[in-house]
Structure 1
Amino acid sequence: MNRIIACIDGSSAASAVCDCAIWACRRTGAPLTLLHVLDRGRYPEPGDLSGAIGLGSREQLLDELSKLDEQRGKLALEQGQLMLEAAGARVLAAGLEAPELSQRYGDLVEVLQELAPQIRLLVIGRRGVKSRQQGLHVGSHLESVTRTLQRPMLIVPETFKEPGSLLLAYDASPNAQLAVRMLAASPLFKGLPLHLLMVGKDSEEHREALADAEELLENADFLVTTEIRKGEVEQTLLDYQQEHGLDLLVMGAHGHSRIRQFFLGSTTHHMLRISTTPLLLLR
């Protein structure tokens, strides 16, 4: 679990993903892998199609289809290599060491699950090239990745600027407390202003929980602001973030309050669709 892995494709978010990964590498000192996955659904591996269309007079068509698939796959492979090389050059131009360039064939979710043991942070665009072509606001694979990959994920919109502040959604659940400890132990945001927001009832219990989290983060050199607000979780978070001009939103992907509903229900898709800033999900 020591590498930052950035998913690179032909979408307009690829440059932002690359720049975000560069920033994360500078902050953490972790090595970088640029990953391109050749989608099996769009470019199937060559195989024996004879059972699908028959033999005899159809042999010529079978041969032509096989050659066409092979050519498409070859071109997609070469295009992916060029994208990786361009991203690698961008990393070098930023003054970092040469990244590892990795091209894999298969399903993105399956590839990331295989790589999970070495992922310290996954950087991925909010939508890929296929989703943009289809007019989707969120990538077709992104929700599956966020639900299955048990690693921190930094989801990037089509533009990126280095964060100067962040908002951490906090519900005092064990997983939210773990998210606080993860932030405190990581160099990724050290020294940045951090707003700690709890959405719910303003009670003594909640204030005490916020105070405990605040103390832990301040001991880790964060400048912390805390607040409790009533309202619907997603809208309250967005309103607070916009009100204070905070550059990045951090949330735990599993909780035991309305935050849990937020991340495991349809509101996940809604937040990813409307957010204009990077979103860090901590598992």
Structure 2
Amino acid sequence: MAYRRLLLPLTGTAAGEAAMTTALMIARIWNAHLHCLHVRVDARDVAPLAGEGLSGAMIEEMMAATERESGERAGRVRSLFEKFAAIHGDLTLASDPNTALKVPGVTISFEAIAGREEDVVAQQSRLYDMAVVPHPEADEDVSSSDALHAVLFDSGRPVLIAPRQAPSVIGSRVCIAWNGSAESAAAVAAALPWLHRAQAVRILCSDDYQRRGPLAEGIRAYLRWHEIEAEVVPFKPATREVGAGLLGAARDFGADLMVQGAYSHSRLRQLILGGVTRHVLENSEIPILMCR
């Protein structure tokens, strides 16, 4: 098993640059193809938001301004991609499997599509083994990360959230955040290639984190069927915050990848009350592989 095709939504932010570096690290590990996707704002989507009372000329001017800004941003993102590709001179530009599979090493490609980011990213992700998305910006509410939630909720594929700073190593020491839910089971299944490759695997569990479903020993036995040895280690919430306790336990293990199900509770409840998924997304310093 291996990841052969990775999708990276490009935003042109500092977090986006860290995600590019992280995605390239992953592509090198799996000798995969990395497709960078930029979603341009479709000016036609602006008209319904303009509201009543605006003349046709004003709406057309607004649409034209949106088109200009979108084009300029797409140009900057394309330049960022080209600069990144030039720095890493061993990469080969390829956009189809007939070409990519004949080339040794990592292949990359770039595409800009106009539309709604959440729709385009979710739909395109369905054709990839994994999507790599930037970490939410320091001043950004995680709930506003459209690309992240689009992949989690509407792609059926795993998503790897890159840290704010690209790691030096990824996937050698892997933690599994296990709570018995269907989401955590899906994350473990998606992470099997990583788990086979890892030097050490630890299953983290807690009575405060457990949902209705198999306990940690059950997933440990499941992994043995795949010839993966893992140790089960309970963790304690830090100051009653399960997410903080989970990240602390991963840090103590020296983990460079966390595998976790996303939003075992409803997303609405987590956005209002907080939750493990939200805390991990906002505070993790290592890559997180998530499934919903």
TM-score w.r.t. length of structure 1: 0.75
Alignment equivalent of 1:169, drawn from 155, 172, 177? 177
Deviation for aligned residue 1:91: 5.3
Q: How many residues align?
A: 262
Cα shift readout 1:59-102 (whole Å, capped 9, x = no counterpart):
6x777666544433332232232123234335544684331211
The letter for the 2-side match of 1:270 is H
The 1:67/1:143 distance shift into structure 2, 3 A limit, reads closer
The 1:154/1:5 distance shift into structure 2, 3 A limit, reads same
Counterpart for residue 113 of structure 2: 104
Query: Whose Rg is larger?
Result: 1
The 1:52/1:84 distance shift into structure 2, 3 A limit, reads farther
Q: Distance in 2 between matches of 1:165 and 1:101?
A: 31
Structure 2 SS opposite 1:13: helix
Counterpart for residue 197 of structure 2: 190
Structure 2 SS opposite 1:196: strand
Identity among equivalent positions (%) equals 19
The letter for the 2-side match of 1:141 is D
The 1:34/1:67 distance shift into structure 2, 3 A limit, reads closer
1:144 aligns with 2:152: no
1:80 aligns with 2:77: yes
The 1:73/1:52 distance shift into structure 2, 3 A limit, reads farther
Contact 2:91 / 2:108 at 8 angstroms: preserved in 1? no
Q: Which 5+ residue runs of structure 1 have no aligned equivalent?
A: none
Q: Which 5+ residue runs of structure 2 have no aligned equivalent?
A: 93-104
Cα shift readout 1:18-76 (whole Å, capped 9, x = no counterpart):
12212222333332211111234xx6679799x96447xxx6x7776665444333322
Contact 2:187 / 2:290 at 8 angstroms: preserved in 1? no
Q: Distance in 2 between matches of 1:20 and 1:62?
A: 41
Aligned pairs (5 A) from 1:1-283: 3-40=5-42, 53-54=54-55, 68-90=65-87, 92-93=89-90, 96-127=105-136, 135-136=139-140, 138=142, 140-142=145-147, 144-145=149-150, 146-161=152-167, 162-163=169-170, 164-184=172-192, 186-187=193-194, 190-200=197-207, 209-218=215-224, 220=226, 222-231=228-237, 232-253=241-262, 255=264, 260=265, 265=270, 266-267=274-275, 268-283=277-292
TM-score w.r.t. length of structure 2: 0.73
Q: Distance in 2 between matches of 1:108 and 1:65?
A: 20
Structure 1 SS opposite 2:130: strand
Cα shift readout 1:140-196 (whole Å, capped 9, x = no counterpart):
425632344321010112212122312101123444344333333x25761331110
